[in-house]
Structure 1
Amino acid sequence: MYDYPITVHSEAGHYWSSCPDIPEAHSAGDTIGMLLANAFDGIRLALTIYVDQGRSIPPASPAKAGQYVVSLPAQTVAKVHLWNTMREQGLRVADLARLLGVSHPVATRLVDFEHVSKIEQIERALHALGKRLSVSVEAA
C-alpha cells in the first residue's frame, strides 16, 4: 500500500527520480545506487509537505515495467495511517492531543516523519481514533 514506484531519469551523467503518486518527491544521485539510497528521503520530505498543507497522503500505485520501488519503513507507514485517519475524521493535531491527553508538541511528533516515535505511541493514537495497528511479514 505504501511501496511507492519511482521513475529514474538520466541527465548529463547524473540521475534523478520522480514519483507518480507523490509528484513532490524527488531524489538525485551520481549513480542509480546513490539515487535509490536517497529516494526515501525525498519521499519523506514530500510526506512532510503533505502534513504541513493538511493534505491526505495517497496510497502507492503498482509499479510499472522499468520503475524501482521504495518501501517505506513500518513506523513511517503507521504515521501515514495515523495522519490519513485524522484527515478522514476531520481532526487536527490539537484534537489528537486532547484525545490522548498529551501536549500539542507530543501529538505533533506523532505525525512528524522526521521524528522517531515509539511505535506504541502511534498504536495508542490509532486506537484512540478507532483503528488497530496490525503488522505482517511477507516474503521479500
Structure 2
Amino acid sequence: MFDYPVVLEAQPEGGFVVTFPDIPEAITQGEDEDEALLYAVEALESAMLFYINDRAPLPVASAANGRPTVRPSALECAKLGVYQAMTEQGIKKAELARRLGWHMPQVDRLFDLSHASRFDQIEAAARALGRHIEIRVA
C-alpha cells in the first residue's frame, strides 16, 4: 500500500542518490545501494510528515516498473493507513479525538511518525473510522 518506487543514481564521486518520483520532497544518499535504500526509509517517513502536518492527502505510489521500492516501517504504515482513512472520509483530528474520547495531544502523537505509539491505539483509531488493520508476514 505504501511501497514507493525509488530511483537510485550512482554519483561520479561515489555513492548513490535516492529520489522518489511520487514524493519530490524525499531525497537522500548513501555510500552504497544498501545504505542508500536504508536511508530512503527515513527520507520517506520524514517526507510523509510534511503531508500529515499540512493535512494533505498522501501521495499515491506509482507502479514500480522494475525499480526498487521503499516502504515505511510497519508501525508507520499502520499510522499512515489510519491517516489516509481519516482524510478520505473528511474527518478532522478533533472529530477523531471525540470519537475516541481522547485529548488532542494523543491524536497528534498518533500521527507523529517518530513517536512509538502503542499498536492498540492505532487499532482503536482505525475502528473509530470503520476500518481495521491487517498484518501479514510475506
- Normalised to the residue count of structure 1, the TM-score between the two structures is 0.89
Structure 2 distance, partners of 1:13, 1:73, is 28
Match of 1:44 in 2: 45
1:70-95 per-position Cα deviation (integer Å, ceiling 9, x unaligned): 13222111111111111112222222
Deviates further, 56-65 or 109-118? 56-65
Shift in Å at residue 61 of structure 1? 2.3
- What SS is found at the alignment partner of 1:83? helix
1:72-131 per-position Cα deviation (integer Å, ceiling 9, x unaligned): 222111111111111112222222111111111111111111111111100100101111
Deviates further, 114-123 or 25-34? 25-34
Alpha carbons 2:79, 2:122 under 8 Å: kept: yes
Aligned-pair identity (%):
35
Match of 2:104 in 1: 104
What is the aligned-residue RMSD (CA, Å)?
A: 1.4
Q: Which ranges of 4 or more aligned residues in structure 1 deviate by more than 4 Å? A: none
- What SS is found at the alignment partner of 1:2? coil
Match of 1:115 in 2: 115
Deviates further, 49-58 or 68-77? 68-77
More strand by share: 1
Shift in Å at residue 45 of structure 1? 0.4
Match of 1:74 in 2: 74
- Normalised to the residue count of structure 2, the TM-score between the two structures is 0.91
Shift in Å at residue 55 of structure 1? 0.9
Q: Following superposition of structure 1 onto structure 2, how do residues 25-36 of structure 1 map, counting pairs within 5 Å?
A: 25-36=26-37
Structure 1 distance, partners of 2:136, 2:34, is 28
Aligned length: 137
Match of 1:10 in 2: 10
